[in-house]
Amino acid sequence: MENQASIQRTRLTFRELSELAGGNGMAVALLTDESDKRALSVICDRPMTDQLAMRLNRQPNTRILLPEVLVGMMMSDGQSADNFELFIHDIVDGQYMVSLLNKQTLVLRPIRVSDAVLLSYISHIPLYIDEELMKKQSSAYSPLAEGVSIPLNTIDTARLNAALDKAISEENYRLASQLQEEIKKRLKN
């Protein structure tokens, strides 16, 4: 990853969690830029959906759960959220590449994107994305929209293959063609 100081970044804010229809408990976390004009969709598996939902529903027992306990320990000894940042810097094989940076020690650790969303929500550690990646991956944001856009390149290959099979069985050849193109693109890389 390049020097983060030279990269143009966009700060993201968690806005909402929407369950995927037929997604077996999976959901989309919607993140917006600071002007609330663009939105980035992050797919969350069922366990992460449950974790985020607990915080959104303000369940009282979350203060003793592992994420909150670890954040409490991270923020002890004079540390604060300002000493850390999360940065989405790439997308590879349908997965956003994210790093957690300790700005004092310069220690950089990879973290799963949905975990980064949860960590940012709990701790108020800022979450950024490379500006060019945001332009490529985001869609226009409307708080009143009934659906969200999910770029095909953020869906893992197994789910793409399942969606391709379904599109073919439903004779939705336009969607099948788009899915097949994304799968071929990944096989070339």
* Co-location of 141 and 160 in the same domain: no
Q: What is the model's pTM?
A: 0.80
Same domain, 186 and 132: no
Q: What mean pLDDT comes out for the span 155-176?
A: 81
Better-scored residue on pLDDT, 178 or 51: 51
Residues 59 and 93 in one domain: yes
CA–CA separation, 44 vs 52, rounded Å?
A: 9
- State yes or no: pLDDT of 156 exceeds 80: no
The total number of residues shown for the chain amounts to 189
Cα gap 184→175, rounded to integer Å: 14
Which domain does 168 fall in, by range? 156-189
Q: Do 53 and 96 belong together in one domain?
A: yes
Same domain, 139 and 99: yes
Please tell me the distance from the alpha carbon of residue 33 to that of residue 128, in angstroms, as a whole number: 9
The CATH number covering residue 92 comes to 3.10.690.10
Nearest to 177 by CA among 162, 188, 167: 167
Whether residues 128 and 171 share a domain: the answer is no
Residues 59-73 pLDDT 10s: 989 999 999 999 999
129, β-bridge pairs: 10, 88
- Closest C-alpha among 65, 42, 76 to residue 150: 42
